[in-house]
Amino acid sequence: MTADAPIVLSTFGSLARHGYEMSVHCWRCQRWVEIDLAAFPSEMPYIGRRFRCACGERCRPSISKPLRAQPPVAN
């Protein structure tokens, strides 16, 4: 039995390939915006990238993997 190789999430393309999503949050206006990963070159690193809100404030990025849909529970 072999261990799974670790995944490397360092570029916009690697996030998309592995099913991750990125959104950014503005603390000033409390706005959340989902980032379209396909809008960036796949080899471009997202680490250290700065995002700004429409209000001008710097945004804080958040990376997540969507939860799998759970089948409905029978009554």
* Predicted confidence (pLDDT) per residue in 21-69, tens digit: 999 999 999 999 999 999 999 999 999 999 999 999 999 999 998 766 5
Buried b / exposed e along 4-42 (16+ C-beta atoms within 10 A): eeeeeeebbbbbbeeebebebebeeeeeeeebebeebee
Query: Is 31 inside any structural domain?
Result: yes
Query: What pTM, to 2 d.p., does this model score?
Result: 0.75
Q: Residue 2 falls within a domain, yes or no?
A: no
Q: How many domains does the chain have?
A: 1
Domain presence at residue 21: yes
pLDDT score of 68: 64
